[in-house]
Structure 1
Amino acid sequence: MTDARPLGADEAAFIAAARAGDAAQFALVTERHRRELQVHCYRMLANYEDAQDMTQETFLRAWHKRESFKGHAALRTWLYRIATNACLDFLDKHNDRTPVPSGLADPASEVLYLQPYPDRVLPEDPQEAVVARETIELAFIVAVQHLPPRQRAVFILRDVLGWPASKAADVLELTVASVTSALQRARVTVRGQLPDRRLDWRSPATHELSDGERGVVKSYIDAHVRNDLDGLTSLLRDDLRFAMLPESGTTSVTAEDAVDGWVAGGLFQRGYDDWRGTTTTLNRMPAAALYRRTPDDPEYRLFAVAVLHIVDGRIAELTGFDATGKPWLDLPPTL
């Protein structure tokens, strides 16, 4: 596996650290790649905690294999190879890491192990392909989970990171023809799983939330604070898609279904009528962290995180994550 490039500073420093057995220098050289490798693992696994674990596993494997690195490939490429194989090994051992039927009449499915990704730990360079908003949004991450693991790796390396077929083939130990065939099948599957309005992941993507998106999140939080069911409903598109994870069978395809479910679950009734919230961003998407105060508790405690996809000023997709009773994504546990 080679790149058409001379030995760079990273590669030279890594080789020197490997030869000297210098763990501190090794960590210094490899650490700068942590954020993008963690995003890569997240796309493979759709779970933030698993991505953290597999990134650490990548560095452990790299340390144990350090003598095998000769600088023929870029250090970044070598680390991606290790990370990809770590994720593939993980998926081989975890049979629960596949989408499950939603239980609805339509063919929808749910990724019950899905977790959001905090923007604060994304790579800092906004030009990096690894942080393009269209390829980190939840809908895209979910769509990719419908691919078989090795096909998933091909798709991410080729269409997300933009690697040439020969480089992806080297990383996965496949032929170029196999990579090309896998990519063609993967593109069909991903397009079939994405919402109609989200079929293009290869065009230049935006990175910042708009003022309109931030305004909708504020209105969403305000509606909870005011117990304003009509106001909350008015923020939702009629064709809303909603899921509350990690519970199964909660996907709805209309705003009415979603609101009826929330009311049936006690929303704005005693115990679910005293709310506060903060605006945040996850997966480069607008999100609301909701805090609830119960009658017997003096504090507002983190209850759920709602990640929103907003189209034309209304919420088109709402993915809720249970955050009860645990510190999560470094959000404050109480307000």
Structure 2
Amino acid sequence: MSTQGTDAALVAAARSGSDNAFAILVDRHQQAVRSFLRRVCGHAADADDLAQETFLAAWTSLRTLDKPERIRSWLFGIAWRRAQGMARSMSRTRWRETDWQGERPDSDQPGTELNIAMQQALAQLPPDQRAVIALCLAGDWSHADAAQVLAMPLGTVKSHALRGRARLAEILGVRDDES
């Protein structure tokens, strides 16, 4: 499978019926979407399910994408909305029953104490702050791009980034010189 072509060209080909073009787009963006969702959700299995749902939703609504060159932001927006929907629909019982899983490293990836501590600290942030931290600090997105993806005002994103970073530093017991 060729990985040549811009995202916009691949979107155009996928809109014309090319399964291969869409598969290339999935290959290109799947890991970033999954990583974002893992940070936001805190449960790897839920994040993986949401990533699959994100790409299924993208395939079925590809024609609604206004700016094909911005597919990455569009995909993250779909992922964020899916994560919000799942959080609203999940019962408290499920969270209580599966909470212990967040305290052990994923079996398919070597975990470190720092990674575990970071996941636990992220889980203590409100969902909106967690999403901003996942995009801006962990994902190296600009505040403007995160604001667009999360459908939040730019000032709110900046505030969430500042407060989220300060809260993470407090939880982890490290000094945050940037706040």
Aligned position for 2:92: 96
Task: Find the residue that maps to 2:92 and give its secondary structure.
Answer: coil
Aligned position for 1:81: 77
Q: Counterparts of 1:166 and 1:69 in 2: how far apart (Å)?
A: 19
Aligned position for 2:138: 160
Q: Counterparts of 2:170 and 2:118 in 1: how far apart (Å)?
A: 11
Q: Counterparts of 1:48 and 1:97 in 2: how far apart (Å)?
A: 18
Aligned position for 1:32: 28
Q: Give the TM-score normalised by the residue count of structure 2.
A: 0.79
Identity %: 29
Task: Find the residue that maps to 1:74 and give its secondary structure.
Answer: helix
Q: Counterparts of 2:175 and 2:130 in 1: how far apart (Å)?
A: 17
Q: Give the TM-score normalised by the residue count of structure 1.
A: 0.45
Aligned position for 1:218: none
Aligned position for 1:53: 49
Identify if the C-alpha distance between structure 1 residues 143 and 98 changes in structure 2 by more than 3 Å, giving closer, same or farther: farther
Q: Which runs of 5+ in 1 are unaligned?
A: 1-7, 101-110, 121-132, 203-335
Identify if the C-alpha distance between structure 1 residues 73 and 141 changes in structure 2 by more than 3 Å, giving closer, same or farther: farther
Matched, 1:15 2:12: yes
Q: Counterparts of 2:121 and 2:175 in 1: how far apart (Å)?
A: 11
**Which structure: larger Rg?**
1
Aligned position for 2:162: 184
Q: Which runs of 5+ in 2 are unaligned?
A: none
Q: Which has the higher contact order (CA 8 A, sep 6+)?
A: 2
Identify if the C-alpha distance between structure 1 residues 148 and 169 changes in structure 2 by more than 3 Å, giving closer, same or farther: same
Specify which of 78, 99, 112 is matched with residue 100 of structure 2. Answer: 112
Q: What CA deviation, in whole Å up to 9, does each residue of 1:19-58 have, x standing for no partner?
A: x233343123222322222111111112121111011011
Aligned position for 2:149: 171
Map 1:251-266 onto structure 2 (within 5 A).
none
Q: What CA deviation, in whole Å up to 9, does each residue of 1:281-333 have, x standing for no partner?
A: xxxxxxxxxxxxxxxxxxxxxxxxxxxxxxxxxxxxxxxxxxxxxxxxxxxxx
Q: Output the amino acid matched with 1:25.
A: A
Name the structure with the higher helix share. Answer: 2
Whether contact under 8 Å (1:116, 1:138) holds in the other structure is yes
Q: How many residues align?
A: 169
Map 1:259-278 onto structure 2 (within 5 A).
none
Whether contact under 8 Å (1:46, 1:113) holds in the other structure is no
Could you tell me how far 1:95 is from its partner in structure 2?
Answer: 4.3
Could you tell me how far 1:63 is from its partner in structure 2?
Answer: 0.9
Whether contact under 8 Å (1:41, 1:87) holds in the other structure is yes
Aligned position for 1:129: none
Could you tell me how far 1:172 is from its partner in structure 2?
Answer: 1.1
Aligned position for 2:39: 43
Whether contact under 8 Å (2:8, 2:68) holds in the other structure is no
